[in-house]
Chains A and B, each alone.
Chain A
Amino acid sequence: MTTATAPLIRRPPTATRFARRPAGRIKRLRERLIETLLFLAAASSIAITAGIVGILFFESLAFFKQVSLVDFLTDRQWTPLFDDAHYGILPLLSGTLVTAGVALAFALPVGTVTAIYLSEYAPHKVREVVKPFLELLSAVPTVVFGYFALLFVTPLLQRIIPGLPGFNMLSAGLVMGVMIIPYVSSISEDAMKAVPMHIREASYAVGATRFQTSVRVIVPSAMSGISSAYVLGFSRAIGETMVVAIAAGMQPNFTWNPTEPAATITAYIVQVALGDLPHGTIGYQTIFAAGLTLMLMTLAFNIAGYFLRKRYREIY
């Protein structure tokens, strides 16, 4: 008898089976369909990356069929649109690095000090008042910063440095620096806030001042987060377009002197895009080769940042 009843018990009662099945199947199908659609939306982000990498590589490949990589990396002139065409990325690279260097030399110290002040020193009320201003600073459109650099900061600098040209990398870099301070300071501040209170208290208990605690305890503990703030700052500085296109000029110029005008990689792309270059010509392909260079620089720094973060990661 037991062998006959066992399979019966395993099956659900027939009434519920009949009542549930038709509606249940549609429901399950619909659930599966929705999950698939949502998955496709999430996976589309990979398609975007594939699109970016694919287009940059595809067009750059066509470019490097006509220009050798050695010329690209060693030629000291970038004149792709002239009759005597030279395709050396160095002038654009120097422009990009000098403007980014000026910006970071200003933004990293000021941003870090601001972050330490906001996290360790500032009374609650000061923070409440100041933070919206910093958010506002990061919301200003970059063309407006460009306007400010060209028509306010440059004339100001010309009074201090006589003979400063109307387009120069110094003013573009400084304004770009102000622009990225909020990013650097807000991420660094979050990292410092995340350091547990007892670590701070231990430092105060042995008689350290706020300054000693900040510099010797909080900053080293938060180094992982601070380094990702720096990497983000660097990415923004080399990828920024409008400020340098407006205030640093559009002439490629192989120089390390920030008081000279020079085009950056991004400014060159803008300059070409403003003209009317036919699709498929080498001039058109240069902007993709330039874009690829920019992308690889950002990537290299992000990877470096990843290892920095790993190196400094603190586990409490």
Chain B
Amino acid sequence: MTSTTDIKAIIRRHRTRDAAFAVLGMVCLLVCIATLMALLVDLAIDGVGRLSPGFLTSFPSRFPGKAGILSAWVGTILVMLVTALAAVPLGVAAGIYLEEYARKNWLTTIIEINIANLAGVPSIVYGLMALGLFVYQFHLGQSILTAGLTLALLILPIVIIATRESIRAIPGSIREAAYALGATKWQAIKHHVLPYSTGGILTGVIIGLSRAIGESAPLITIGALTFIAFLPPAPVQRTFPFVNFDWLASPFTVMPIQLFNWVSRPQQAFHLNAAAAGLVLMAMTLAMNGIAIYVRYHSRKRIKW
């Protein structure tokens, strides 16, 4: 027979384990947060001294003190532009099809499994595909266009999944109300489903782009140059037709590649440049995530079913 004292001892032992696990959980969380803090502080200590307007408006250079990230941030913005223009229409259209039109058949099932698998493909494999297909089969060159399309394919699953989730959240009664007034399926989608799900879709797009902005492996794989001391041709011009698409074919570099280039040099002065570029890149990523959180919050607040 177990006596009362035995039972009390058992309870005490289990309570101690319970408390010990709670402490362990907090320690694990603290490890994550402390690492993040150490990373940010380390980056800031090393990089803040190099941050200056000149750093943003200079080209990379052999002299670490003169080097800057002008070509890198311009390249990043142009590549992101192509990525967004390619991934958003394609991803949103695919999401609409899968959520609103697709019948339950083997083809739809394959497409769904396929998208889930694409989300797990290592990013460098997208780079290999782009190198073989875009660069050497379609002859798009190692250009901004190739880079933008590569990253667009990479974030396509994110955009599709975000679109599907925000469309799914719209009650069926909204669609039925539109049909009852004689709207066709597309009219119901265009005038009701899409406008109401814009917030969610936008959030997904921004999250996807913030992932693309930090990607460098696929772009290095397609052969992006690490030393670019010129800017691509400007997209807008003073003479007719005012827009210029030559920049699409231009060689480029982007922020993470510039950072990689500097961090892989032995001289310590370049490491400081890498830290400063890392700070700018982190600021870009954080700003995008901040916008995504803002959009998500506001689109939820505005609509009540």
> Could you list which residues of chain A lie within 8 angstroms of chain B, going by C-beta atoms?
27, 30-31, 34-35, 37-39, 41-46, 48-49, 51-52, 55-56, 58-59, 110, 113-114, 116-118, 121-122, 130, 133-137, 139-148, 150-152, 178, 181-182, 209-212, 214, 232, 235-236, 238-242, 245-246, 266, 269-270, 273-274, 279, 287-288, 291, 294-295, 298, 302
Q: Count chain B residues whose beta carbon lies closer than 8 angstroms to a beta carbon of A.
A: 84
Measured between beta carbons, the chain A residues less than 8 angstroms from B289 are 135-136, 139
- Residues 90-128 of B, flagged 1 when their CB comes within 8 A of A and 0 if not, give 110110111001100000001100110110111111111
A266-B126 Cα distance, complex, nearest whole Å: 12
Cβ contact within 8 Å between B220 and A288: no
A160-B16 Cα distance, complex, nearest whole Å: 32
A270-B110 Cα distance, complex, nearest whole Å: 32
Within the complex, the shortest CB–CB distance from B139 to chain A, in Å, comes to 11
**Closest residue of A by beta carbon distance from B260:** A143
- B144 at interface (Cβ–Cβ under 8 A)? no
Measured between beta carbons, the chain B residues less than 8 angstroms from A58 are 132
- B210 at interface (Cβ–Cβ under 8 A)? yes
With contacts A37-B93, A117-B26 known, is A144 near B32, CB below 8 A? no
Stretch at the interface among B50-58, B61-69, B237-245, B278-286: B278-286
Within the complex, the shortest CB–CB distance from B226 to chain A, in Å, comes to 7
- Which among A46, A52, A58, A134 has the greatest number of chain B C-beta atoms within 10 A? A52
Within the complex, the shortest CB–CB distance from B112 to chain A, in Å, comes to 9
With contacts A51-B129, A134-B32, A273-B220 known, is A242 near B25, CB below 8 A? no
With contacts A141-B256, A144-B39, A242-B216 known, is A113 near B24, CB below 8 A? yes
With contacts A44-B94, A58-B132, A273-B223 known, is A181 near B124, CB below 8 A? no
A178-B31 Cα distance, complex, nearest whole Å: 9
Cβ contact within 8 Å between A55 and B282: no
Cβ contact within 8 Å between A52 and B125: yes
Cβ contact within 8 Å between A302 and B263: no
A240-B153 Cα distance, complex, nearest whole Å: 18
- B232 at interface (Cβ–Cβ under 8 A)? no
Checking B24, B111, B256 against A45 with a beta-carbon cut-off of 8 angstroms, the contacting residue is B111
Measured between beta carbons, the chain B residues less than 8 angstroms from A118 are 25, 29
- B169 at interface (Cβ–Cβ under 8 A)? no
Cβ contact within 8 Å between A150 and B263: yes
**Closest residue of B by beta carbon distance from A178:** B35
A142-B213 Cα distance, complex, nearest whole Å: 11
With contacts A55-B129, A137-B36, A144-B278 known, is A46 near B216, CB below 8 A? no
Measured between beta carbons, the chain B residues less than 8 angstroms from A110 are 28, 31-32
A214-B184 Cα distance, complex, nearest whole Å: 51
- B300 at interface (Cβ–Cβ under 8 A)? no
Checking A31, A147, A270 against B43 with a beta-carbon cut-off of 8 angstroms, the contacting residue is A147
8 contacts between A and B (CB under 8 A): A41-B90, A116-B21, A118-B29, A137-B35, A143-B278, A214-B21, A273-B131, A291-B124
> Could you list which residues of chain B lie within 8 angstroms of chain A, going by C-beta atoms?
14-15, 17-18, 21-22, 24-26, 28-29, 31-33, 35-36, 38-39, 42-43, 46, 89-91, 93-94, 96-98, 101-102, 110-111, 114-115, 117-118, 120-129, 131-133, 136, 153, 156-157, 160, 184-186, 210-211, 213-217, 220-223, 226, 256, 259-260, 263-264, 271, 274-275, 278, 281-282, 285-286, 289
A109-B233 Cα distance, complex, nearest whole Å: 51
Measured between beta carbons, the chain B residues less than 8 angstroms from A38 are 93-94, 96-97, 101
Cβ contact within 8 Å between A294 and B125: yes
Cβ contact within 8 Å between A279 and B136: yes
With contacts A144-B281, A302-B117 known, is A152 near B39, CB below 8 A? yes
Within the complex, the shortest CB–CB distance from B87 to chain A, in Å, comes to 11
A45-B136 Cα distance, complex, nearest whole Å: 21
With contacts A46-B111, A114-B32, A146-B260 known, is A141 near B156, CB below 8 A? no
Cβ contact within 8 Å between A43 and B32: no
Cβ contact within 8 Å between B125 and A270: no
Cβ contact within 8 Å between B120 and A232: yes
Checking B17, B125, B160, B226 against A274 with a beta-carbon cut-off of 8 angstroms, the contacting residue is B226
Checking A48, A130, A274 against B220 with a beta-carbon cut-off of 8 angstroms, the contacting residue is A274
**Closest residue of A by beta carbon distance from B222:** A273
A43-B39 Cα distance, complex, nearest whole Å: 41
A300-B27 Cα distance, complex, nearest whole Å: 34
8 closest residue pairs by CB, A with B: A239-B122, A117-B25, A141-B214, A41-B93, A55-B132, A241-B217, A38-B97, A42-B94
Within the complex, the shortest CB–CB distance from A64 to chain B, in Å, comes to 16
Checking A39, A48, A59, A135 against B156 with a beta-carbon cut-off of 8 angstroms, the contacting residue is A48
Measured between beta carbons, the chain B residues less than 8 angstroms from A302 are 117, 120
Cβ contact within 8 Å between A147 and B274: yes
Within the complex, the shortest CB–CB distance from B165 to chain A, in Å, comes to 13
A41-B100 Cα distance, complex, nearest whole Å: 13
With contacts A144-B281, A211-B18 known, is A49 near B114, CB below 8 A? yes
Cβ contact within 8 Å between A52 and B121: yes
Cβ contact within 8 Å between A133 and B160: no
A142-B282 Cα distance, complex, nearest whole Å: 11
Within the complex, the shortest CB–CB distance from A176 to chain B, in Å, comes to 12
Within the complex, the shortest CB–CB distance from A217 to chain B, in Å, comes to 14
Cβ contact within 8 Å between B125 and A147: no
A113-B125 Cα distance, complex, nearest whole Å: 32
Measured between beta carbons, the chain A residues less than 8 angstroms from B118 are 45, 48-49
Measured between beta carbons, the chain A residues less than 8 angstroms from B217 are 142, 241-242, 245, 266, 269-270
Measured between beta carbons, the chain B residues less than 8 angstroms from A143 are 214, 216, 256, 259-260, 263, 278, 281
Measured between beta carbons, the chain A residues less than 8 angstroms from B39 are 140, 144-145, 148, 152
